[in-house]
Amino acid sequence: MSMDKQFTLLELNKAIQEQIYSGFPDSIWLIGEISELKVNRNGHCYLELIEKDAITDNIIARTRATIWAFTYRMLRPYFESVTGHELIPGIKLLVKAKVEYHELYGLSLNISDVDPNYTLGDLAQKKAEIIKRLEEDGVINLNKELNFPLVPQRIAIISSETAAGYQDFMNQLENNSYTYKFYTKLFPSIMQGTQAEETIINSLEKIFEHEELFDIVVIIRGGGSQADLSCFDSYLLAANIAQFPLPVLTGIGHDKDESVADLVAFKKLKTPTAVAEYIIEEANNFEEIIISLRNQVIEFIQNKIQNLKTRLTSLTSVIIPSVRNNLNNQNYKLELINEKLRNNISIYLKDQNNFFNISGKKLKQQSNYLILRNIERVKSYKKGLKSSSSFRLRNETLLLKNSVKRLDLLNPKNILKRGYSITYHNGNVIKDLNKLNLEDEITTKLLNGSIRSKVCEKHKNQIK
């Protein structure tokens, strides 16, 4: 081909077309990642396939591709049934395509077949890489290591408000057979498709702002195809769930496979209804524990009371005889003390009587001694004064004699001889009428005896 030859643009494009057709006469198998996908109203699927650098993740190649409506109607359900995923951006494909070059529209691929096994392998590899990354980050088991609340009553719900799974969850929770009451708060989220990851993470962030108001978080959705669940294999969503400070329960409605979100959650359950049943069961387990503890306490107290009754009965059978013996011993001791006291009192009284007798004798002796001494003194004085005061002595003698006579007259015996009597009350001579009361016993002493009587009347003399 001469370098001097000139081409029109159309001629150039046709030349390129001839070279492509000659170089790629048949369909080829090639690998590409979907970056864009649109299906028009006629059912034709238009894609943009890209290739990224394995290290930088930058796009290094890009081309357009088409799956005509007839082929797309067969490929799409086949691909989704095998892989469990929709044909959506971000999925790698191994496609059989015819390389085409149009003079006006340029290079494109006409896809006639897809190998879903390659996509399965790629998705599995991506999932394994996400799990490995979570393990390397040290977060994969963080949520599982949290303590589940004893009574999970305050529940934050991440779901779509119109989802059948959400309605099933609420119905099961509100109409539980134990009549438990739960506080629930819905954080509406998109639960499938490309926007699901972002909205679920946003809901988690809102719950985190009010963490103290909730016990647990549940992520639930209704049934759907496996293809609807690809958002739950996201690293970012899984990392948020794994590191969330409250236990997260998942019930996203599929049994075939376990998503990465299920793997990192505190507990994975099959359906929203199963999540509700689990919460109710946990509340019931706590109630049974409380009932069991209550019964144990009651049984313990009853056994304690019975043991104390038995012990009291046993102690009573021992204490009563002991008390009786003690009382008998104390009575015996009291009798001994009483007898001893009686003897001591008798001895004391005798001693006091002897003391008074001895004291009386001593007093009499001393009186006699004093009298004799005074007589001697008198004699001495008499002799000394005889010569100078005989007259006075005679007078004093007379006075003394008169005093003796008066004393003799005042002697109680002589008074009694004259007909007088002496009245005593409690051993004391009664001189004042006011010191006697009616019915008091009095003793009247006469010359030849005494009379005991009671006071019946009292009359005062008028003193003038």
> Per-residue pLDDT tens for 77-135?
998 888 877 888 888 899 999 998 888 888 899 999 998 888 777 777 788 888 899 99
- Which pTM does this prediction carry? 0.53
Beta carbons of 34 and 94 less than 8 angstroms apart = no
Which among 101, 123, 145 is the end of a domain?
A: 123
CATH (domain of 22): 2.40.50.140
| Domain match, 97 and 165 both | no
| Domain match, 141 and 282 both | yes
| Domain match, 56 and 168 both | no
Which among 123, 153, 179 is the end of a domain?
A: 123
Beta carbons of 125 and 57 less than 8 angstroms apart = no
In a domain, 334, yes or no: no
Q: Give me the pLDDT at residue 402, please.
A: 81
| Domain match, 52 and 90 both | yes
Pick the residue with more confidence: 127 or 184?
A: 184
Average pLDDT over residues 314-341: 82
Q: How far apart are CA 51 and CA 58, in angstroms?
A: 8
For residue range 294-309, list pLDDT tens digits in order: 899 998 998 888 888 8
Q: Give me the pLDDT at residue 226, please.
A: 55
Extract the tokens encoding 432.
């004042």
- Which residue range is the domain that position 434 belongs to? 411-464
CATH (domain of 269): 3.40.50.2300
| Domain match, 173 and 275 both | yes
| Domain match, 79 and 153 both | no
Q: Give me the pLDDT at residue 235, please.
A: 92
Extract the tokens encoding 376.
């001697």
| Domain match, 91 and 141 both | no
| Domain match, 46 and 174 both | no
Q: Give me the pLDDT at residue 189, please.
A: 93
In a domain, 389, yes or no: no
Residue 134, CA distances (Å) to 131, 160, 279, 282 in order:
5, 27, 27, 29
| Domain match, 240 and 213 both | yes
User: CB burial class (10 A; 0-12, 13-18, 19+) of residue 146?
Assistant: middle
In a domain, 337, yes or no: no
| Domain match, 64 and 179 both | no
Which among 123, 144, 165 is the end of a domain?
A: 123
In a domain, 255, yes or no: yes
| Domain match, 117 and 14 both | yes
| Domain match, 102 and 52 both | yes
Instruction: Give how many domains the chain has, as a whole number.
Output: 3
Q: How far apart are CA 420 and CA 407, in angstroms?
A: 16
The SS3 call for residue 406 is helix
